Structure 1
Amino acid sequence: MASIRANCRKIMCIGRNYAYVGLFHFPPPKFATAGWLDDHITELNNTTPKQPFFFLKPASSILLPGAGPVLRPKGVSLHYEVELGLVIGKTLRDLDPQDHKGALDAIHSYILAIDMTARNVQDEAKKKGLPWSIAKGFDTFLPISREIAKSRIPDPHEAFLRLRVGQAERQADSTSLMLYRIPQQLAQISRVMTLEQGDIVLTGTPKGVGEVKAGDVMKASIEVGGKEIEEGRIEVEVKDREGRYEFKET
């Protein structure tokens, strides 16, 4: 497992990428489009992107299984976002968005991940037009599962993600609700910057994002065909972080 962190040069995160499935949209379509509403977009008062939107997290934010708690910095409103992660297996540059085989062939394996966000830090930065890398980049802000072999997830668009805080289920949705499928995500990223072996791509989070505090325990899981993938489990506690950082207005 340590090799995942050691081999990762960058973590690309797709934002605002899960469709809303309402009363008149069931069952969910095989290929959702950007015309759909996004529950996670709605709950954060954002707008639906016209193309895949991505940002970076540092590899130093990765928290390996059993490596300790997620640490909440002083003054931070800490939010969870469960996501399916792709571990890239080969160099990918300027991928054709219609090349589904090329996209899936470039994936070495999968992980489950919890993208942690310092939400008040992010909100202040957005309001003032400032970069918000800090909000995503603290140490321990990316708990991940053990590595999941590709054979365990035959179709990454047909998996089910769950996240619980304590005994309360907070997120539970299918990856079939992605607005932009994985080939489109990898095409958009790779036309801007080369994806390299060991890089991680986080594919977006469904609705239900919320706050956690010290003492909370997060449990995340992934299912395929109604069966949980054992190596895809995450269980991690939240604790307060000691140190010099404390959130203050910029």
Structure 2
Amino acid sequence: MPQSSLYVLPPPATPCLAIDGSEQFFPVRRIYCVGRNYAEHAREMGADPSREAPFFFMKPGDAVVADGARLAYPGQTQDLHYEAELVVAIGGSGENLSAEQAKALVFGYAVGLDMTRRDLQAQAKKGGKPWDMAKGFDRSAPCSAIVPAARIGHPSAGRIQLHQNGELRQDADIADLIWSVPELLANLSSFVRLEPGDLVFTGTPAGVGPCVAGDALVASVDGVGKVSVQIVER
């Protein structure tokens, strides 16, 4: 890498997340997300919940937001939705991996919110266009501190919930994932090389819905943690 004095602009700061129980941080490289990975959510979105091959979309790394953030209601939407998700933090590199090889790359786990401009997503779907502006907008990826797998292992079951202003909206178990974490990572590694710093949002259960300025959102996964955000006016 060139010295910073050789850049025509100051290099951007590296987005990062706290590591639970540590003073160190996890640098975020890329954010991958998988769509419709819980059967009931697939049904509520009008899709077939069979085990078709998983599909992925992305958010920019700097869309990540730490726990406790205040999120300004984004522009260009009248239908902002929450989606609670288990998040996987990658600590190694590899491509064309088996499920077991992919599992070995996992550094830890977190809880995330895939914030979505649902009206823009619907327009994109109808027109056969990309979802980028529906999913990859600024501050669209709130995420809790990362809990190392060395401490908690690799959770394959545990309640995942979202509360909106104290009311339960999403309530499922990560055991209900259509594609397990190792399977998802192995499949993703056939398309791109996984690298340290990557985050993988593993899909959301049924119960997604709209939020407005003033709402408090709390997403949680048993044994992993929780992330809380406040939606505020722009």
**1:235 Cα deviation from its structure 2 partner:** 1.5
Aligned counterparts of 1:47 and 1:71: Cα–Cα separation in 2? 31
Looking at structure 1, the residues matched to 73 and 138 of structure 2 have their Cα atoms a distance apart, in angstroms, of: 8
State the distance in 2 between where 1:165 and 1:82 align. 11
* One-letter identity of the residue aligned with 1:75: T
Q: Which consecutive unaligned segments of at least 5 residues does structure 2 have?
A: 1-13, 18-24
Tell me what 1:82 maps to: 84
Aligned residue type for 2:191: V
**Is 2:37 the counterpart of 1:17?**
yes
* Greater mean alpha carbon deviation, residues 66-75 or residues 204-213: 66-75
Aligned to 1:233: 226
Task: Give the TM-score normalised by the residue count of structure 1.
Answer: 0.79
Q: How does 1:1-250 map to 2 (within 5 A)?
A: 3-4=16-17, 7-18=27-38, 38-48=39-49, 50-96=52-98, 99-100=99-100, 102-224=101-223, 229=224, 232-241=225-234
Tell me the secondary structure at the aligned position of residue 69 of structure 1: strand
Q: Are the counterparts in 1 of residues 72 and 232 from structure 2 also a CA contact under 8 Å?
A: yes
- 8 Å CA contact 1:72–1:213 kept in 2: the answer is no
CA distance in 2, matches of 1:168, 1:15: 25
Deviation at 1:74, TM superposition (A): 4.3
- For the residue of structure 1 that corresponds to 2:68, the secondary structure is coil
TM (norm. structure 2) is 0.85
Partner of 2:22: none
Q: Which amino acid aligns with 1:113?
A: G
SS at match of 2:121: helix
What is the DSSP-based 3-state SS (H/G/I as helix, E as strand, rest coil) of the residue aligned with 1:233?
A: strand
Q: Is the 8 A contact 1:14 1:53 kept in 2?
A: yes
* Long gaps (5+) in structure 1: 19-37, 242-250
1:45-83 deviation line (CA, Å, top 9, x unaligned) = 123351111111111211112343253324330111100
- Give the whole-Å Cα distance in 1 for the aligned partners of 2:29 and 2:106: 15
What SS class does the counterpart of residue 237 from structure 1 fall into?
strand
- SS in structure 2 of the partner of residue 121 of structure 1: helix
Indicate if the aligned counterparts of 2:69 and 2:228 stay in contact, CA closer than 8 A.
no
RMSD value, Cα: 1.9
Shift of the 6–149 alpha-carbon distance from structure 1 to 2, 3 Å rule, reads closer
How far did residue 152 of structure 1 move? Answer: 4.6
